[in-house]
Structure 1
Amino acid sequence: MRGHFVLAAMAMAMATTTMAAPLHAKDRTGYRAIAAGDFAAAERTLVAERRIFPNRPELMLNLAAVYSRTGRVAEASALYAQVLARPATMLDLPSGHEVSSHSLATTALASLPSNVAIASR
């Protein structure tokens, strides 16, 4: 079942704020917290939801966006790579358009700063 999700990764990549209505009355995708700029609350929600649904791409994409916006580029990159390692899923954008989870992850990954060391001694 597809629902509307915050696709913060695409929003970041396009340098716009693209938000969608949450799937449920309870914000299970971090939507309200991300929209409000409360990245700590969004992270708590997303981490808790990923314990239940570890492979849902919208949770991985939103958590990666939170990590990116809070300076944790390596963690964001790892989550985008996890999305790309799973089968592509079509997600609904707030505009009503559909987009592939792979397209979002690829675009967001390309927008991450490249001057971050992935490994160190």
Structure 2
Amino acid sequence: MSVTMTAALLVAQAMTVSPAFETAQLEQKDAAYEQVAAGDARAAIAQLQAELRSEPEDPALLINLGTAYRQTGDLERAAGAYRAAIDSRTRYKLELADGRWVDSRHAARQALSQLEAGGTIALR
């Protein structure tokens, strides 16, 4: 499913690599994807804030939180969430809407850049 929205940096899946085994694993993350994609930003924010209590540095959660804040017009909090994802010690690959996989820090930087430029981005 592809969704194009203003500043919609939506993370649906993440690929993690275990340093001990160097084996890639595909991990399905909810990350409030459906709520953000549907434009239900307030529900997404509530869900993401709850999930961040147990995974405070998860970049997928932080990126989608930033997108949800952007949907509500809270650009300061959106930028803060994107910056937290950039600074996170946790890092993995995220799937974009066009099927490409990118590093979570790259995705967060791209989202922040789009926020600052007032542009759009489509991710899956």
| Alignment counterpart, residue 101 of structure 2, candidates 95, 98, 102 | 98
Alignment size in residue pairs? 102
Cα root mean square deviation, aligned:
3.1
The question of whether the paired residues in 2 share the 8 Å contact of 1:12 and 1:108 is answered with: no
Shift in Å, 1:92: 2.5
**TM-fit CA distance, 1:20:** 4.0
* Secondary structure in 1 matching 2:28: coil
Distance 2:64 2:11 in 1: 11
Amino acid at match of 1:60: L
**Mapping of residues 25-44 of structure 1, within 5 Å:** 28-44=30-46
The correspondence for 2:78, drawn from 68, 76, 79, is 76
Query: Residue in 2 aligned with 1:5?
Result: none
Query: What one-letter code is carried by the residue in structure 2 that aligns with 1:23?
Result: Q
- TM-score, structure 2 normalization: 0.66
Displacement, 1:64? Answer: 0.4
Structure 2 regions of 5+ residues with no counterpart?
Answer: 14-26, 119-124
Q: Which structure shows the higher strand fraction? A: 2
